[in-house]
A and B are shown apart, each in its own frame.
Chain A
Amino acid sequence: MAGIGFELRKLLRRDSYTGLLQAYGFAGIISSGPWILSILGVMLVGIISIGRVYPEELIIQFLVSVTYLMAASLIFTGFLQLMFTRYVADRLFEKKGDIILPNLIGALTLITFVGGLSGLFVLFVFFDQNIKYRLLMLSSFIVLNNIWIVVVFLSGMKAYRLILSVFFIGYSTTVIASIALEIFGLNGLLAGFLIGQTILLFLMLSMVIYEYPGKQLISFDFLNKKQIFISLALTGFFYNFAIWIDKFIFWFNPVTSEQIIGPLRASVIYDIPIFLAYLSIIPGMSVFLVRMETDFAEAYNNFYTSVREGDTLEHIEQLKDEMVKTIRMGIYEIFKVQGLTVVLLYLLGSKILEWIGISPLYIHLFQIDIMAVGVQVLLLAILNVLFYLDFLIMALSLCFLFTVCNAVFTFITLELGPQFYGYGFAIAVVLTSLIGLGFLSKKLDRLEYETFMLQ
Chain B
Amino acid sequence: MKQWKSVLNSRKSADIALLLEGTFPFVSGGVSSWVNQIITGLPEFSFSLVFLGGNRDFYGDYKYQCPDNVVHLECHYLMESWKDKPPKPYKGNKDVFNQVHKMHEGLRSAKHLINEESLTTIMNSLGKDNALSREEFLYSEESWEQIKEYYTKYCTDPSFVDYFWTIRTMHAPLFILAKIVEKLPAVKILHSVSTGYAGMLGMMLERTRGLPYILSEHGIYTKERKIDLAQADWITDASETFGTSLDDDVSYIRRLWIRFFEGIGRLTYNSTDPIISLYEGNRLRQIDDGADATKTQIIPNGIDIDRFTLLREQRPKGVPPVLALIGRVVPIKDVKTFIRSMRTICNKIPEAKGWIVGPEDEDAEYARECHTLLESLKLQHNVEFLGFQKVDDILKQISLVVLTSISEALPLVILEGYASGVPALATDVGSCRELIEGNNKEDKLIGLSGRVVQIANPEETAIAALELLTDEKKWKQAQAAAIKRVELFYTQKDMFNKYRHIYQQALEKH
A residues bordering B, Cβ < 8 Å?
Answer: 307-314, 316, 446, 449-450, 452-455
The yes or no answer to B1 lying at the interface (CB within 8 A) is: no
Chain B residues within 8 Å of A307, by CB: 161
Residues of A within 8 A of B164 (CB): 452
Q: Which of B17-25, B49-57, B140-148 contacts A (4 or more CB under 8 A)?
A: B140-148
User: Are A310 and B159 interface neighbours, CB within 8 A?
Assistant: yes
Q: B162 — which chain A residues lie within 8 A by C-beta? A: 310
The closest CB in chain A to the CB of B164 belongs to A452
Q: Are A449 and B158 in contact (CB under 8 A)?
A: no
C-alpha spacing A453/B146, complex, angstroms:
12
Chain B residues lying within 8 Å of A450, measured Cβ to Cβ, are 89
A226 to chain B, nearest CB (A): 15
Task: List the 7 closest A-B pairs by CB distance, nearest first.
Answer: A310-B159, A313-B160, A454-B87, A449-B144, A312-B158, A310-B161, A453-B144
Determine which residue in B139, B151, B160 has the highest number of CB atoms from chain A within 10 A of its CB, and name it. B160
Residues of chain B touching chain A, judged by Cβ–Cβ distance below 8 Å, are 87-89, 138-141, 143-144, 148, 151-152, 158-162, 164
Q: State which of B89, B148, B158 has its C-beta within 8 Å of the C-beta of A311.
A: B158
Bound-complex Cα distance A54 to B162 (A)? 75
Query: Main SS of chain A's interface residues?
Result: helix
Min CB distance B365 to A, Å, is 31
Least distance between B163 CB and chain A CB atoms (Å): 9
Contact sample, A vs B, 16 pairs, CB 8 Å cutoff: A307-B161, A308-B161, A309-B161, A310-B160, A310-B162, A311-B158, A311-B159, A311-B161, A312-B159, A313-B148, A446-B141, A450-B89, A453-B89, A453-B139, A453-B141, A453-B144
- Known A-B contacts A313-B151, A449-B141; A454 and B160 likewise in contact (beta carbons under 8 Å): no
CB pair A311 B141 closer than 8 Å:
no
Question: Measured between alpha carbons, how far is A289 from B263 in the docked complex, in Å?
Answer: 54
When the two chains form their complex, are residues A454 and B159 in contact, meaning their CB atoms are under 8 A apart?
A: no
Contact A455/B151 with A310-B162, A311-B158 known, Cβ cut-off 8 Å: no
A159 to B326, CA, bound (A): 73
Of chain B, the residue at the smallest CB distance from A314 is B152
Cα A452 to Cα B151 with chains together (Å)? 14
Task: Report the bound CA distance from A267 to B164 in whole Å.
Answer: 59
State in angstroms the CA–CA spacing of A307 and B161 once bound together. 7
Contacts of B160 in A (CB 8 A): 310-313, 316
CB distance from B351 to the nearest CB of A (A): 61
In the assembled complex, the CB of A389 is this many whole angstroms from the nearest CB of chain B, namely 15
| B-side contacts of A453, CB under 8 Å | 87, 89, 138-141, 143-144
Give B158's nearest chain A residue, CB to CB: A312
Contact A313 B138 (CB under 8 A): no
Could you say which residues of chain A place their CB within 8 Å of the CB of B88? 454
- Residues of chain B within 8 A of A312, CB atoms compared: 158-160
Supply 12 further A-B pairs (C-beta < 8 A) apart from A313-B160, A449-B144, A453-B140.
A309-B161, A310-B158, A310-B161, A311-B161, A312-B158, A312-B159, A312-B160, A314-B152, A316-B160, A452-B164, A453-B139, A455-B87
A453 to B164, CA, bound (A): 9
**A155 to B136 alpha-carbon distance, docked (Å):** 42
Give the CA-CA distance A455 to B164 in the complex, in Å.
13
Q: Among A314, A454, A455, find the residue whose CB has the most chain B CB atoms closer than 10 A.
A: A454
The CA of A353 and the CA of B140, in the complex, are separated in Å by: 57
| B382 shortest CB reach to chain A, Å | 53
Interface centre among A314, A316, A453 (most CB of B within 10 A): A453
What is the CB-to-nearest-CB distance from A93 to chain B, in angstroms, rounded to a whole number?
19
A312 CA to B141 CA, complexed, in Å: 19
A448 to chain B, nearest CB (A): 8
Report A-chain residues with C-beta under 8 Å of the C-beta of B148.
313
Chain B min CB distance to A442 (Å): 12
Which chain A residue has the least Cβ–Cβ distance from B90?
A453
On chain B, the residues within 8 Å of A452 by CB distance are 144, 161, 164
Q: Is the CB of A454 within 8 A of B158?
A: no
CB distance from B216 to the nearest CB of A (A): 39
Q: Across the two chains, which residue of chain B brings its CB closest to A450? A: B89
- Tell me the minimal C-beta distance from B168 to chain A in angstroms: 9
